[in-house]
Structure formats: structure tokens, C-alpha cells
Structure 1
Amino acid sequence: MTMSMIMMSLTTSLPYYIQIILLFIISIASITLLGRILSRPTKTKDRSRQLPPGPPGWPILGNLPELAMARPRTKYLHQAMQELKTEIACFNFAGVHAIVIHSDEIAREALKERDIDFADRPHVLAMQIIGDNKTMGNSLYGEQFTKMKRAITTELMSAKTLNMLVASRTIEADNLIAYVHSMYQRSETVNVRELSRVYGYAVTMRLLFGRRHVTKDNVYSDDGRLGEDEKKHLEAIFGTLNCLPNFSPADYLEKWFGGWNLETARVNNNIVRSYNNPIIDERVELWRKKGGKAAVEDWVDIFTTLKDENGKYLITPDEIKAQCVEFCIAAIDNPANNMEWTLAEMLMNPEILKKATKELDAVVGKDRLVQESDIPNLNYLKACCRETFRIHPSAHYIPTHVARQDTTLAGYFIPRGSHIHVGRPTIGRNPNIWRDPLVYKPERHLEGDGISKEVSLVESEMRFVSFGTGRRGCVGVKVGTIMMVMLLARFLQGFNWKLHPSCGPLSLEEDDGLLMAKPLLLSAEPRLAPNLYPKFQP
């Protein structure tokens, strides 16, 4: 007797609605079992036609149900790869192949040796709202990407432009310690995360627009705090950043539901643009219709005045506006995260803090403030920043890359359209790469005694991720390094630090997003002569 005949005989005596329910349950179970059998990797010697190993999935949805139920979602990826004993895996999220990489060797292959194959970005509606396919960061690999990257690399990030903007960056480095000094005078607690974000925001505004305040009639304090408009602007910038792809089930179900976080992305993006766009419109009017001004003074001026070989303006106003949003969301979180974790690790390891301040006193002294020109000689400080990048990155994965064509990686078949995710903490904390990977040890980044070679924050061998590499790599490495090292150097040179009583025992616990679970709250005490602390400059 066949299975279908047995089922018929068992169900005919039951009420009709019970028969329907049983048949539905059996059908779903059968489809699920078949789907899991078919999803098992085939055993073949030719890995070039075989996907990387991955967990069995459900029909249609693949591994999406497990991803949606996991908290944090990256925990599911890590556990699945540990069970599979692999450093490259293929997850199926509603038909999207997500290739997850936890190996420095495979990461180098993907982003250095074969980066042309993986140079696209995913088509996610939230990214389209933010960048509108016009920016260097989110446009597909092609003419638009090439145009924007060339303009940014050769003009905005050129040595000439960065030298032109030294004064703007120095103003905010001065404002940083002016702000902390005013907090000391009022016996206020220093929230390191908040203060670091204020610094990153202020530097970014100076570089983009040549001024800290985004509205002319803004009411601001005279000690370095942000005005109300700047606070709203900064909050919306982080709100926009949080809408970028990060293994959200909504990103994989857009073709059915249109995305669940689009309204949040739209609202935050509109707020950011409501502050940026009037400045940009004013500059476009000034440079392209009213004859301009005496000199180019910031990044928006450069964008507005660039022309192609035919004498036509190279960058449209809409492209400038979209790219400015991208600059805002790319420039602020990394220095702030690095600063907070570095100070916390130094307070947990006083000998490291002592070595860093000793280097500052030897290279700079205590009779002047540390300047950007000192950075090449601050190797131990940069080693601390590198070690923080290694063990405390600002995100679980680098921005998503997409395969432009059918290709291979680590010998496995990678279909066109696959999403490529390179893990940051899983590589930086990998015991196969680093000895004692969870121990904070800046000395591991120094060559010999640390003075034979200048230390760079860039990790070209992908043993950890600081700045992206390859065609989609970060073009702002130099300005990012300046912001990060100056932030840390001014903090350590200007003040002695201790844990504020309200913070409780110092804990290095991290939250789901890799931030410190509790913001670092400190008390500051000046360590320089009173005349060296500058006044705030609006």
C-alpha cells in the first residue's frame, strides 16, 4: 500500500476541516524536507561549480527565518560557520546568495586580487534613497562611480587640498580641548563618545562647508557644544547611517514588501539634506551664476567649480548633494568609536597609557600643542589606534560588495549578484592570524623597537580591517588618519583621565553593534600650562 493510500485511509474518517489541516501540515513538512535535502552541498571534486558550504534552508526563504530570529543577527552567521567549520560560507536569504568571509586570505583574494569581480553594490532601496545612484559609495561600478571617485581622489583628497584645509582641522582640534577644559572648570563629566562625535562632526562640517554651524542664525554656546540645529543634524546623520544594509530581513524582502525601514531612511535623509542643501544651493548660485569668490575654500567649493575637458561643470548639484550626505555618514562614527575604545583599553592597562603620554612628551613636549605635522613621529599612538581597529571595529562587516559576474572565490563558485560580506571582528580576533587575539597589545604593530618604520593605520594584508581596500576602498584614508590620531593625541596631551564615579567599574563589554555597552564617562584634569588651552572659535 502506498503512503498516499495510507494517508487517505487515515483521514477519511476524520472531519473535513481536520483532514484539510493535516494535509496542509504534511505538505509543508514534505516541501521543507525536500528543500533541505536539495540544499545540501553536492559532493564533487570540482569546487569551481560548487557553492561555498552553508546551512540547509527553507523553501523560498532559505536561511532568512533563522536570520530574523537571531539577536544579534550576526550571531547566527558566526554560529553556523563554526558548526560548518569553515571561513567562507554561503547563506541563502530569500534567493540572495550571501557569501560571508572570516579569513584574511580569502578577504585578500576578494578585495585585492579579484576586486574587479566584486566591485558592485547591492540594490537596496534605503541606499537608493540616500545616494540616489549618484555617489561614489553606492553607485554601480561604471561611469558614474569612476567619475565621482576620480573627482574625490584627485581633487578633494589631494595633498594640495588637504594642506589647504589644515587650518580648518586645527580649529576643531583646538576647540576639542577648549571644550574639555571648560567642562573641567565646571566639574562636568566627560562623555567620551558624545565629545568624540562632536569633534568628528565639526571637522566634517569645516571640510565640507568651511564652517561648523549649518545655519547662519543658529544659537550656539561659546565652549564647543553643538547648537540645537547641529544636534538635530548629527542625530539624523547617525539615523541615516543605521539604515544602511546590515543583514536586515527587510533588505532581502523588498521585492515583495518594498522594504520595512524606508520611511526611517527617508525621514533621516531629508533632515540631513534640509541642512546641507541650502548651503550647496547657495554655493552653486555663487560660483556658477554670480562669478564666485576670491578663492576656493572647502570641498563644496571644489565640487562646484570642477569642469571637464570641454569646459562644462563636471558635478551636478544633485550629485554634490548626494555625495555630501555620504561624506557625513562615512566620516564621524569611525574616529569616535576608535577613541572611546582606545581610552577604555588604556585605562584598563595603565602601562599602555603611560607609554602613549611618554611618547607625546618626547615628540611634542609640554610647551606647545600637538599638531598634524607631529603625526609621522607618533608611532606608539598609531599602534594603539591600529590595535583598536583590530579588536574593536566599528561594524561587524565592511560595506557589502556584489559579484558583477559568475566567478570563483577560494575555489568555490560565486554566482553573479552574490553579496560579499567580509567580517571585521572575526578576522581581527582570529587566533589563526593573531597570537592572544583578545589581548590588547599595541606593541604587536611595531617593528622591532617601533622607530625603524613609520606606522600606518592602513592594513593592506587584511589581517584586520581599518579602512576599506580595492576599488571600493576608502579614499579618505589620509584625512581619516589625521582625524583619529589628532583626536587621541589632543586628549592624552591635554589631560589626565580617570574613571568618573558615576560610571561604576570599568567594563569592556560591547553591545550588539560593537559599541561599548555603556558610554565611557571620565573626569579630566589639565596636564599643561593654563595659557596653552585655547578659547573656542565658532
Structure 2
Amino acid sequence: MALNSAGEIPAAAAIVHAFLATLPISIILVLRLKKKKRAPAASELPPLPPSPPSWPVIGNLPEVMFHTKPFFRWVHDVMKEMKTDICLIRLPGGATIVPVLDPAIAREMLRKHDVSFADRPTSLGSHVISGGYVTTVLGPHNDQWRKMRKVMTSEIVSPARHRWLHDKRAEEADNLVFYVHSHCMAGKSVDHCMAGKSVDLRVATQHYCGNVMRKMLFGRRFFGNPTSDGGPGPTEVEHLEAVFTALKNLYWSSISDYFPGLRGWNFDGKEKIVKEADKAIKAPQNPIIDERIRQWRSGERKEIDDLIDVFVTLKDDDGKPLLTPQETKCQAAEIMMAVIDNPSNAVEWTMAELINQPDLMRKATGEIDRVVGKDSPRLVQESDIEKLNYVKACIREAFRLHPVFPFNVPHVSTHDTVVAGYLIPKGSHALLSRYGLGRNPKVWTDPLRFDPERHMGGDDGEVVLAEHDLKFISFSTGRRGCVGTVLGTCMATMLLARLLQCFTWTTPSGGVDLAEAENELSLAMPLVAFPEPRLAPHLYRETN
């Protein structure tokens, strides 16, 4: 799972009101801390990372909250002006944020000092979505996290479980082809489909990922009524919109993230947004889980068919349910959030770049044809992924240049730690910048150019999507790293490979505007293109 720290700028009046209301308390707290604790002499400690000028007591909060640019763009502009790959941003109450743009510093944090940066920050969004931190990704580094992490690694994303769920993923890959083909045909005959409807590839990629996760978790593609073309219905659209809304508001989006005492007042409207998103995510999921719990307890259900069955049937050493209903519901929601965004964003960007560079698209399509055989009566399968090195190189390049969110999930230092010669104070929020690592000119030649060849080894070794040296972030690493790397690799590669193998893609203008959205890193406008089938008609069959 990857996170957006931009968020919308809260209403100025609400922020000013909250700031004035809490300023006296903040000053008193800071003065008391200074009295209780003698600050060590400067010569006793390494220097702090360089930081922009800040205000007494409130630090850089005015710049963070009132700046016209999103938080992540302001941070990267400041670091560029300061000519630094690590800096320290001060917030009220002595809190600090430490963004990192250099792979060597990132490796030092998450390898040498992995234990020191194993905690997570608290926030309004993460607390609501995780049900009070009962899940794996968002919770603090404690016994609850260890319990849920063990469940995830041993029962949910283990190699054996991945193989067991293969057929469900394959069915959704087939449904993707049927969905796109139905738009291509648009009522035309099989031999005259070039004038078919366009396809919104943002919808196609996001809902393919959503379909895969719904099928693996709940054993169904749709929460609501199915659509004739295999696409999302209103319930699925609302569900996916809520997932992305929640992701964008996990951290630093609300004034109460800076002043926790304000939670419950909804000063800036963000508390309502987060709670409504959480409700929309869980509304179609929780009744299924409740019914499944009832079926297993009554003995009505006897066969394990999907991941909810796995969660519900886990037992502790005394033979009692290992997970509470709340843990199962919140973990299921977190899985949906952790898996959908990264592959869908990477493939949408990859398709946009390939449409603009037809030579690269022909090379990727040619590789699939060589591996599978263009005249072969089958579609590309997961068993082919190992050999699709150029296809995976295209996805790696999208992860590098076009990350789904600017920063990785924050790490919190559990004690004072020295990194790259700088003192990182206890409680600092360490932010590895997906945006900055992948575009660092000290690491990447011509960093703004989409060039899959930079990921091809030349020794016929297999290309993998994980980036263990943190030159960019595809799937997070370390003690709090992503446990679903194999699943994410599978979904992203199958999604791109099926789109390229089964269709030729064009746009009316012959190209795609690659402008980024102002407040995030997705394409400013969803990618819309026209597909033309390139395989035998019988391969575009409808799925169940």
C-alpha cells in the first residue's frame, strides 16, 4: 500500500480560529517542557537536518497550511532551494517532519536503523480507517501490529495462498478483456469494430484492481448489480471513490492532525470527509462479513472459498476465533486501500507514455507476442510474467517517474537517531519521497524521460518490480514494508500485458497530454483511448 500527503487546504477562517484557540496552550506546554528538560549543549549532539525558517512555537505550520501549493510541492520546492536531500520541517508542539530524497539516506533509515523507524504517526484519518489501529499498515509498532502482520504474512499473502487464489485473479483478467472489447464493439459486427466507443483507462485499471480484490476477499466481482459490459455499477463506483478519498486524507489533511485536542469539532470539514469515506468503504463489505461469521458459527458454511473465510475461521491456541469481527472488517478495508491504487496508477501512466511513444509500445507488444505467440489460441497468463521483462521494465519506469502518491507511509522514530550525520529527534515523521527519489538527478540520467531501457540489465536476468535499493519506491520495504509485493507485481503485469496483447490503442489527437494534476500525481485528465482488437474473436469471451 502506498499515501497522499497533499490534501486540500482547509478553510482559512477555521484554521485561524483553531490556531488562536490553541496557541496559549501550546506556549504553556513548550515552556513547561523547557523547564523540565535541560537541552544538551550544541557540541554534544550532531546537527539537525537543514530546515527552512520557522515561527516560534508553531514552526512551519503557516507555510504548510496556508501555502498556495499542495504540501508535497511546497516541500520539494523548499528542498530544491536549499539544495538538500534531507530537511527538517517544524510543527507545533516540537513535532518534526523529515523528508528524504536520497536513496543512500533512505537505505540507512530503513536498513541500518529499521527498528528505530518502525512506528507510525497518529492522525485523524489513520485512526478512523484502521478502526483505532487494529490493522497492519497504519497501526503503531506494538503487539497488535505483530499479531495482524503474522496473520497477513502466514495466512493471507503466503505463496500457498497466492497459488490458491490464482483462478479468481485469472477470471478478472478475462473480465477486463471482455469489458474493453464490449466498448470496442459498441454494437458493431465482429469485422467492423474500429469505430467503437472509447475506453476510460482510469476506470478500467482501477476497477480491474477492485474486481480482483473483491473476488479474492469476498468471492464476488460486484457488491451491487452486475453491468452488461462487465464494468462497475454504482455501488462499485462509490466504493472505489471512497477508497481514494480515504487514501488522500490519511495524514496531515486536517487541522486536528496538528492539534489533536480539536478532534470531534470538525473545524475544517475533514473529519466529516474521512468518516463518510470510511462508512462508504465498509458499508458494502461489513454485511458480507457479518453474514459469513453467522454462517460459520451456525455450521451452515463448511468450505473455505475466499479470504474472508480465512479470516473468520482462524483460531487461537485455545480454539477460539483469532480475530474479532472489528479486526476482520478493518483489515479487509485496509487491504482494499493498500492494493488498488498503486498498480492502477502505474498502468494508466504506462499506457499514456506508450501511446506517446509508439516504438516503445511496439516493443512491449512484440515481447508478449514472442512469449505467448500472436497466433497462439490463448491469452497471456501469470505463468508468463517471469519472461515479460520489457513489460515489467515499463511498469518499473512508471513507478519511478509517476508514483501514485508523493510520499511513502510515514515512519516515526522511536528515539533520537543519527542518520547521514544528522540528528533525527525522537518522534520525527520520516517521509521517503517517492516523487523525489525517482526524479533525483544525482541518481537518474535525464530523470523526466520515460525510458524502460534503464531497467533492462543486459545479462538476461529477470526484471522485478520491487526496488530494494530504494532508488525509487514501487512497494515499500523494511520492517514495515509491503507484504503484498508478489500480488502487486502480478496484478500490475497482468493488467498491462492484457491491455497490450489484446488491443491496439489510439487517441483522436495521436497523443496524450501528460500533465500532472495540480494537487496530486495522477494524470490531470483520465486517459481515454480507442481500442482495436488484435487477436482472434473467440478470445474475447464473456466471463461469469
Fold match, TM over 0.5? Answer: yes
Q: Which residue of 1 aligns with 2:175?
A: 175
The 10-residue stretch of structure 1 (291-300 or 102-111) with the greater mean CA deviation from structure 2 = 291-300
Residue 411 of structure 1: CA displacement? 1.9
Describe the SS at the equivalent of 1:296.
coil
Q: Which residue of 1 aligns with 2:232?
A: 226
Aligned partner of 1:335 among 337, 340, 343: 343
Change (3 A) 1:100 1:43: farther
For 1:207 and 1:310, locate their aligned partners in 2 and report how far apart those are by CA, in whole Å. Answer: 28
Q: Which residue of 1 aligns with 2:319?
A: 311
For 1:250 and 1:490, locate their aligned partners in 2 and report how far apart those are by CA, in whole Å. Answer: 44
Aligned residues: 492
1:407 aligns to 2:417 (yes or no): yes
Residue 256 of structure 1: CA displacement? 4.2
For 2:487 and 2:249, locate their aligned partners in 1 and report how far apart those are by CA, in whole Å. Answer: 25
Describe the SS at the equivalent of 1:174.
helix
Residue 313 of structure 1: CA displacement? 1.7
Contact 1:222 1:536 in 2 (8 A): no
Residue 477 of structure 1: CA displacement? 0.5
1:443 aligns to 2:442 (yes or no): no
Contact 2:252 2:258 in 1 (8 A): no
Contact 1:498 1:522 in 2 (8 A): yes
For 1:473 and 1:292, locate their aligned partners in 2 and report how far apart those are by CA, in whole Å. Answer: 38
**Correspondences of 1:39-50 after superposition (within 5 Å):** 48=46, 50=47
Higher relative contact order (CA closer than 8 Å, sequence separation 6+): 2
Partner amino acid for 2:87? A
Contact 1:67 1:249 in 2 (8 A): no
Q: Which residue of 1 aligns with 2:18?
A: none
Aligned partner of 1:75 among 62, 73, 76: 73
Partner amino acid for 2:172? E
Which ranges of structure 1 fall in alignment gaps of 5 or more residues?
Answer: 1-30, 36-41
Change (3 A) 1:292 1:51: farther
Give the CA RMSD over aligned residues.
2.2
Describe the SS at the equivalent of 1:245.
coil
Based on CA coordinates, which of the two structures has the bigger radius of gyration? 1
For 1:355 and 1:61, locate their aligned partners in 2 and report how far apart those are by CA, in whole Å. Answer: 54
Q: Which residue of 1 aligns with 2:117?
A: 118
Residue 47 of structure 1: CA displacement? 5.3
Q: Which residue of 1 aligns with 2:485?
A: 477
Q: Which residue of 1 aligns with 2:212?
A: 203
Q: Which residue of 2 aligns with 1:149?
A: 149
Q: Which residue of 2 aligns with 1:373?
A: 383
Residue 400 of structure 1: CA displacement? 0.9
1:129 aligns to 2:135 (yes or no): no
Q: Which residue of 2 aligns with 1:109?
A: 108
For 2:339 and 2:483, locate their aligned partners in 1 and report how far apart those are by CA, in whole Å. Answer: 11
Partner amino acid for 1:165? L
Partner amino acid for 1:77? V
Describe the SS at the equivalent of 1:417.
coil
Q: Which residue of 2 aligns with 1:420?
A: 430
1:54 aligns to 2:51 (yes or no): yes
For 1:397 and 1:423, locate their aligned partners in 2 and report how far apart those are by CA, in whole Å. Answer: 4
Contact 1:102 1:427 in 2 (8 A): yes
- Cα deviations by residue, 1:277-303 (Å, 9 ceiling, x for unpaired): 11111111122x122534211111111
Q: Which residue of 2 aligns with 1:269?
A: 278
Describe the SS at the equivalent of 2:396.
helix
Contact 1:208 1:300 in 2 (8 A): yes
Q: Which residue of 2 aligns with 1:383?
A: 393
For 1:65 and 1:358, locate their aligned partners in 2 and report how far apart those are by CA, in whole Å. Answer: 53
**Correspondences of 1:227-306 after superposition (within 5 Å):** 227-246=233-252, 249-256=255-262, 260=268, 261-287=270-296, 289-291=297-299, 293-306=301-314
Residue 253 of structure 1: CA displacement? 2.8
For 2:261 and 2:419, locate their aligned partners in 1 and report how far apart those are by CA, in whole Å. Answer: 28
TM-score by structure 1 length? 0.88
1:526 aligns to 2:538 (yes or no): no
Contact 2:124 2:251 in 1 (8 A): no
Residue 157 of structure 1: CA displacement? 0.6
Structure 1 stretches of at least 4 aligned residues deviating more than 6 Å after TM superposition: none
Contact 2:254 2:271 in 1 (8 A): no
Contact 1:500 1:521 in 2 (8 A): no
The 10-residue stretch of structure 1 (125-134 or 247-256) with the greater mean CA deviation from structure 2 = 247-256
**Correspondences of 1:4-15 after superposition (within 5 Å):** none
For 1:246 and 1:332, locate their aligned partners in 2 and report how far apart those are by CA, in whole Å. Answer: 22
- Cα deviations by residue, 1:369-425 (Å, 9 ceiling, x for unpaired): 001111011011001110110111001100111111222221222222111111112
Partner amino acid for 2:445? R
1:395 aligns to 2:405 (yes or no): yes
Partner amino acid for 1:386? R
- Cα deviations by residue, 1:35-70 (Å, 9 ceiling, x for unpaired): 9xxxxxx9966653x321101211221111111222
Residue 83 of structure 1: CA displacement? 2.4
1:431 aligns to 2:431 (yes or no): no
For 2:229 and 2:83, locate their aligned partners in 1 and report how far apart those are by CA, in whole Å. Answer: 54
Partner amino acid for 2:88? C
Which ranges of structure 2 fall in alignment gaps of 5 or more residues?
Answer: 1-26, 32-39, 187-195
For 1:219 and 1:465, locate their aligned partners in 2 and report how far apart those are by CA, in whole Å. Answer: 37
Aligned partner of 1:453 among 438, 449, 461: 461
